Structure 1
Amino acid sequence: MSLKSFAAKIFAGSVYRSIQRWAGRPVETQEKVFRNLVTAAASTAFGRDHHFGQIRTHADFVKNVPVRDYEELRPYVDRVVSGEENVLWKGKPLYFAKTSGTTSGAKYIPLTAESMPYHIRAARNAILCYIHETGNSRFVDGKMIFLQGSPVLQEKNGVKLGRLSGIVAHYVPKYLQKNRMPSWETNCIEDWETKVSAIVEETLSENMTVISGIPSWVQMYFEKLQARTGKKVGEIFRHFELFIYGGVNYEPYRARFEALIGRKVDSIELFPASEGFFAFQDSRKEKGMLLQLDSGIFYEFIPADEFPGENPARLTIGEVRPGVNYLMIISTNAGLWGYNLGDTVQFTSVNPYRVIVSGRIKHFTSAFGEHVIAKEVEQAMKEGIAGFGGSINEFTVAPQTDPSEGELPYHEWLIEFSEEPQDLEGFAKRVDQALQGQNSYYYDLISGNVLSPLKITKIRKGGFAGYMKSIGKLGGQNKVQRLSNDRKLAEQLYEYRA
């Protein structure tokens, strides 16, 4: 065992004990975060407008601070972007994380001196928890790759601006700099396909032990490696043993990954976003990710079936229950207040508090009142693959409300298979049955002959990547929308049908 590997084990034990202390006092931890946030921002423009000086309890906060999404908070954000100080948080932010997806263009999410360290610490702690639980620290001596956006930053009114993954690249600890791949020059390549090809050439002869990124884009890297060498990834990188991912559920990709690698490797799931690093998988033995309650983020949870109704309940951490679909609302030390992140979560445990990401509040299929969410379609896909084999590159689901004459409406699953199941009809039936088993509304619609069972449209290999490239969202932190409530995405994907 190297000195570095030995030191990692000792450090992992220390960090694990620290995590247990706050995880064991969840309500107290969150109350402390709440008080600190309100006190720190009392003299800001937002704090004055919302009477922070008079807020003593969560009930006071609910009364004074409404739930807002980015567009509703934007008048304050625009003031920050224009260079004004002390608007949402003290002083100016260190960075703006630029993201897309709103109705009026790019979002500028502030990152402050207080919030930035938690993005780095949470990712580090996820790895340390793995080391503590497994006793495996060998991988720290090998090379690690993080497939991410370009670290080249712009500047806007004195504040640096870029993608979150590119900003984070500036904070790689010194003890990892020698292990980190790809090179700075390669990481700065903007075109994703060119970048991945360059990464392949740089890493082929290296001792890669850790690979991290969004599964769909890591899959592209693996496929290029295999095409370049004719070998499994596990043969090329014999000591590759840890895959770290976030952004989407890994399960639909697992079979394809194991085929590309040629063996199983351990994995760690993360829940990062520009707005904060919310959770990470702290144990391979337990389902879900540990919610980061001490990271300068105060959490509220609205039952998804109450949103956006009048005065929905805004629950704090001590009031949530396992298995309920909640919309997650955050207030942070980057100056986001009562902020509707758009993500829905379910608690798998309340001792400690662990979550899974169940979907996006705007990403669902409910054209017929069924309200199918991402967690359900991903589980159904998993069961279909388990029963009939095959593997997928990507998929999305949309309602077909205007079928051919004589047909009932149905859900259309647009799937890009890397390996098609032997019995596609049986596969579709199994997926549909699995979805009915999870969603009683969908079951009622099928059994009541309101809907016919799902139908599969095959997308040719490389089709989803081609679509993402056509809209300028190939690679990086960009993800394919899993569910739609209309046919816009489905119609665009028809160009790529097999």
Structure 2
Amino acid sequence: MGFKSVLSKVFAALVNRELNQLRKNALTLQQNTFSNLIHQAKDTAFGKAHNFSQINNYEDFKRNVPIHDYEDLRPYIDRVVKGEENVLWPGKPKYLAKTSGTTSGVKYIPISKESMPQHIKAARNALLAYIHETGNAGFVDGKMIFLQGSPVLAEKNGVSTGRLSGIVAHHVPAYLQKNRLPSYQTNCIEDWEQKVDAIVDETFNEDMRLISGIPPWCQMYFDRLSAKAGGKKVKDIFPNFKLYVHGGVNYEPYRARMEESIGFKIDSIETYPASEGFIAFQDSQKEHGLLLLVDSGIFYEFIPSEEYFNEHPTRINIKDVELEKNYALIMNTSAGLWGYSLGDTIKFISKNPYKIIVTGRIKHYISAFGEHVIGEEVEHALMSIAKAEGVDVIEFTVAPQVNPPVGQLPYHEWFVEFGTPPADLQSFAIKVDKALQKKNIYYFDLIEGNILQPLIIQALQKNAFINYMRSEGKLGGQNKVPRLSNDRKIADGLKAYI
């Protein structure tokens, strides 16, 4: 055991004490966060316009601060981007994280000197929580790979600007820099496929022990590693590889194929980072769910997802949440985002401590007929049947077909790329449909009432989703295909790959 791994166990024990305080005192920590945020921002342009100096409690806050999406906050963010100070948060932001919005085009998310350390602390603590629970610290003595965006930053009116993963690359602790791959030069490659090939070449003969990245792009890396090694499993290329860190999309639909590529059931840590803030991470290999970070400069609010589009939805803080209820996640942050709708939906699976699962996107659903089917439901329906029948699913998406052929009822059309396809696709589709009916009573009623016919699965060619994303100029990075769309844009684009 190396010096770094020995030291990391000591550090992990200290961090676990901090996490225990977080687990036990969530309500107090959230109240303190709320008070600190309001106090610090009361003299900003936003704080003055929304009466922060008169806000004494959460009810005051709700009366003065409406829910915002990016477009709602854009007039303030545009002022920040132009270099104005004290707009949403005191001073200027330290960074502007550049993201691609589906409706807003390029978005700039402010990251302040107060919020930036929280991103690093959360990522570090996720690893230390794993070390403390399992005792497995050997990965810190070997090489670690982080599949991420380019670290090259631009400047916009005196503020450094780039992708979040590229910004974070500048804050990797010094004691990990020698362990970290790929190199700066390789990370700067913009073309994703060239970058993956360069990463394969650079890491092939290294002692890789930890790999981090979103599942579909890690899978591409594994496939190309295996091809270079003449079909070997990842475990035979990297015999000390023991830990996979992921976030951004649900890992479960990818798990079977990833573990097939790796060659064994690997330990994994799920994280929930966003440009707006690091929200939660998996703190246990024994328990389900992600520990909500209640002391990281974020005050959370929640709206029942079925009320989200109401004119006056119910709006609560952590004190009043219910278990197993779908909520839209709202954030107030130490970078100056107020009443900010992240667009994600979550469920609480524990309140002692507060643990969540991510269930989808508030705008990624199908309700063309009033069914309001969400991502969690389609993923469960497909993967439960696939697992039972030994079917390997690589990727999929679902869209409504509201204009079916003459004489047919409308239906949900599923576009699925299989690794190992079902022996009988029609029988498989019927079983998936039954599973979805069990998860969603509204969908069940529409099938029973002959408003919809059962779903139809279109089996796609190999690499269909990679080729589709390439055609859209969205291959690599943090880009991913939504599981659900309420329109036909993606579905129509995938028709060419049936």
Q: If the TM-score is normalised by the length of the shorter chain, which range does it land in?
A: over 0.9
Equivalent residue, structure 1, for 2:439:
438
Contact 1:387 1:427 (C-alpha < 8 Å) held by counterparts: no
- Alpha-carbon offset, residue 213 of structure 1: 0.4
Render the CA deviation track for 1:393-422: whole Å, top value 9, x for unaligned: 211000111111222211111011122123
Question: CA separation in 2, counterparts of 1:104 and 1:318?
Answer: 33
4+ runs of 1 displaced by more than 2 Å? 421-427
Rounded to whole Å, the distance in 2 between the matches of 1:104 and 1:315 is 27
When normalised by structure 2's length, the TM-score is: 0.98
Aligned twin of 1:428: 429
Q: How many angstroms does 1:263 deviate by?
A: 1.1
Distance 1:429 1:224 in 2: 35
Aligned residue number for residue 209 of structure 2: 209
Conserved 8 A contact 1:253-1:391: no
Structure 1 distance, partners of 2:425, 2:142, is: 42
Q: Deviation string for 1:10-65 (max 9, x for gaps)?
A: 11111011011122011111000000000000110001111100100000000110
C-alpha distance in 1 between matches for 2:461 and 2:120: 38
Conserved in 2, the CA contact under 8 Å of 1:252 and 1:378? yes
Which residue is equivalent to 2:298? 297
Cα distance, 1:102 vs structure 2? 4.2
Q: Contact between 1:93 and 1:110, CA under 8 Å: does it hold in 2?
A: yes
Alpha-carbon distance in structure 2 between the residues aligned to 1:386 and 1:423 = 15
* Structure 1: unaligned runs, 5 residues or longer: none
Equivalent residues, number: 497
Q: Relative to structure 2, which stretch is displaced further, 51-60 or 377-386?
A: 377-386
Code of the residue aligned with 2:467 in structure 1: it is G
Residue 473 of structure 1: SS of its match in structure 2? coil
Q: Which TM-score applies when normalising by structure 1?
A: 0.98
Counterpart of 1:159 in structure 2 is 159
**What letter corresponds to residue 406 of structure 1 in structure 2?**
G
1:107 corresponds to: 107
Instruction: Supply the distance in 2 between the matched residues of 1:433 and 1:139 (Cα, whole angstroms).
Output: 43
What is the match of residue 120 of structure 1?
120
Shift of 1:424: 2.4
- Unpaired segments of 5 or more residues in structure 2? none
- 1:245-298 Cα offsets, whole Å, 9 max, x none, are 001101111111111111110111011111010000011121110011000000
CA distance in 1 between counterparts of 2:205 and 2:351 reads 45
Amino acid across the alignment from 2:434: Q
Supply the AA of the counterpart residue of 2:34: F
Aligned equivalent of 1:461: 462
Taking the aligned partners of 2:380 and 2:283, their CA distance within structure 1 comes to 22
Task: Indicate conservation of the 8 Å contact 1:209/1:241, yes or no.
Answer: yes
On the 8 A contact 1:93/1:111 being kept in 2, the answer is yes
RMSD of aligned residue pairs (Cα, Å): 1.0
Whole-Å Cα distance in 2 between the matches of residues 382 and 223 of structure 1? Answer: 22
Instruction: For 1:350 and 1:291, locate their aligned partners in 2 and report how far apart those are by CA, in whole Å.
Output: 10
Asked if 1 retains the 8 angstrom alpha-carbon contact of 2:70 and 2:104, the reply is no
Deviations 1:273-326, CA, capped at 9 Å, x for gaps: 110100000111211100110000000001111112132111110100111000
Distance 1:350 1:122 in 2: 20
Partner residue, 2:175: 175
* C-alpha contact (below 8 Å) 2:347/2:358 kept by paired residues: yes
Secondary structure at the counterpart of residue 356 of structure 1: strand
Q: What percent of counterpart residues are identical?
A: 62
- 1:409 and 1:332 map into 2 onto residues whose CA distance is 43
Q: Which residue of 1 aligns with 2:42?
A: 42
Contact kept? 1:387, 1:430, Cα under 8 Å = no
1:5 aligns with 5
Report if the CA contact (8 A) 1:384-1:428 is conserved: no
CA deviation map 1:217-263 (0-9, x unaligned): 10110111111112111111111111100011011111111111111
Alignment of 1:5-404 (within 5 A): 5-229=5-229, 230-404=231-405
